[in-house]
Amino acid sequence: MDSILVTGNGPLSGQIPIAGAKNACLTLMPATLLSEDPLTLTNAPRLSDIRTMTALLQSLGAEVTSLQNGQVLAMSSHAINNHVADYDIVRKMRASNLVLGPMLARLGHAVVSLPGGCAIGARPMDLHIHGLEALGAEIELRDGYLHAKAPGGLKGAVVEFSFASVGATENVMMAATLAKGTTVLKNAAREPEIVDLATCLRQMGAQIEGDGTPEIIIQGVDRLHGATHPVVTDRIELGTYMLAPAIAGGEVELLGGRIDLVGAFCEKLDAAGIAVEETERGLKVARRNGRISAVDVTTEPFPGFPTDLQAQMMALLCTADGTSVLEERIFENRFMHAPELMRMGARIDVQGGTATVTGVERLKGAPVMATDLRASVSLILAALAAEGETVVSRVYHLDRGYENVERKLQAVGARIERIKD
């Protein structure tokens, strides 16, 4: 397995282009199953997760063509010939479950394996099932597969989620576009990826309003048509690279960055002593003066602080002046990076869903191991400001969510390289 070698070497300077959002693209791709007409996505990220979703859609009979070096995905689902999403593909990635709603809506039946992905918590399918059953689906779990059918077709209903689940909101919203009548989603997720999906579905002819608020209203239509849609900027990649100059020093401009995508995150950076400035091309980030200040962080659904930036923020706070408390409220098993940061000299005490981080003057390079996608990049960020060399192993996680990490950081002066096994 590949490793990443990082040698801490001081301030960074330059520009980093931010890709299209992985989580948005993985949601938009299954939307092709809702229509016989072509759906084209531009600004697509070039990631292993995108290749996994491509393989899943192709296994169902969809045509997926990668154009312009992978940044354009041309899809067509006019000849779906399989309704089973097989375990061998679905186990690799949580977002695979998003084919369930579209297939159920258009075909009237689907068999989808329970999904995989990073081991950061249970992330059950119960909210997805609850929402689809409210629309009239009959769903049974057998041998690790969800067997779903809608013998009388899907019908609009009021669906109230007990938790503002992003995946469940996306799955039920896609299904509802072809349901008969009106569907109201209450306590719906508000993430930018939800808004991006709704925007794309409207371009395909769906009638959706209220996206970006806790109540989304969908008026079902008989069919959807094709569209071309640009994938929204990846706010998690954006936040990750905003932390690079915050940790290592210097000034970096993030091309394509938007403050509205990372508002709560920017508030914490400001409190820590990091300046974020809007430019014509994106966002410019620099540490104000000296050592950063400790801040407390609680992860929450959007527009709160993203759970997907918690590990990276912990890396920053490892060298803060004072003690920070990070509370993880989204996933119950998301501090696996803490022991690895401690190998680099960090002082972290984890008790259940709370991590207390007491800042040290300097971290030291060490061999560390990535445990999940966001944990892997948090170790790379920490290594940028550590003394000596850090080798991050098991970086196959990294390639699921970040394209060209080494090249992007090398472009702003980081000493980083990939070691082929």
Give the type of residue at 347: R
Q: Are residues 220 and 307 in the same domain?
A: no
Q: Is 200 a catalytic residue?
A: no
pLDDT at position 121 is 40
- Structure-token match 């082929």, residue found: 420
Q: Are residues 269 and 216 in the same domain?
A: no
pLDDT at position 398 is 87
- Structure-token match 């989620």, residue found: 161
Q: Are residues 7 and 50 in the same domain?
A: no
Task: State the Cα angle at 97 between 95 and 98, rounded to 5°.
Answer: 75
For the segment 109-121, the average pLDDT, to the nearest whole number, is: 67
Q: Are residues 7 and 55 in the same domain?
A: no
Q: Are residues 122 and 175 in the same domain?
A: yes
Burial class, 280, CB count within 10 angstroms (exposed 0-12 / middle 13-18 / buried 19+)? exposed
Q: Reply yes or no on whether the pLDDT at 286 is more than 50.
A: yes
- pTM value? 0.92
pLDDT in tens, 287-339: 998 899 999 999 999 999 999 999 999 999 999 999 999 999 987 778 989 99
For the segment 229-235, the average pLDDT, to the nearest whole number, is: 98
Q: Reply yes or no on whether the pLDDT at 196 is more than 50.
A: yes
94 labelled binding-site residue: yes
Percentage of the chain exceeding pLDDT 90:
85
Report helix, strand or coil for 266: helix
Q: Which residue has the higher pLDDT, 401 or 209?
A: 209
91: CATH? 3.65.10.10
- Structure-token match 């999403």, residue found: 85
Domain that includes residue 170, residue range = 22-230
Backbone angles phi, psi at 214, to 5 degrees: -70, -5
Q: Reply yes or no on whether the pLDDT at 117 is more than 80.
A: no
Question: H/E element holding 324?
Answer: strand 323-327
Instruction: Examine residue 303 and say whether the peptide bond preceding it is cis (omega within 30 degrees of 0).
Output: yes
Structural domain ending residue among the three candidates 174, 201, 230: 230
Give the type of residue at 259: I
Give the type of residue at 116: G
Number of domains making up the chain: 2
178 labelled binding-site residue: no
308 labelled binding-site residue: yes
pLDDT at position 105 is 97
Q: Which of 25, 118, 200, 266 is catalytic?
A: 118
In DSSP notation, 191-257 reads -HHHHHHHHHHHHTT-EEE-TTSSEEEEE--S----EEEEPPB-HHHHHHHHHHHHHH-EEEEEET-
pLDDT in tens, 249-280: 999 999 999 999 999 999 999 999 999 999 99
Backbone angles phi, psi at 328, to 5 degrees: -100, 115
pLDDT, mean over the chain: 94
Among 254, 238, 240, smallest CA distance to 316 is for 240
CB 148 within 8 A of CB 135: no
CB 102 within 8 A of CB 72: no
Q: How confident is the model at residue 149 (pLDDT cuts 50, 70, 90)?
A: very high
d(CA 182, CA 271): 44
Q: How confident is the model at residue 373 (pLDDT cuts 50, 70, 90)?
A: confident
Q: Are residues 143 and 241 in the same domain?
A: no
Q: Are residues 224 and 261 in the same domain?
A: no
Q: Reply yes or no on whether the pLDDT at 358 is more than 80.
A: yes
Report helix, strand or coil for 32: helix
330 labelled binding-site residue: yes
Structural domain ending residue among the three candidates 189, 210, 230: 230
Structural domain ending residue among the three candidates 230, 252, 277: 230
223 labelled binding-site residue: no
Q: Are residues 212 and 238 in the same domain?
A: no
Q: How confident is the model at residue 116 (pLDDT cuts 50, 70, 90)?
A: low
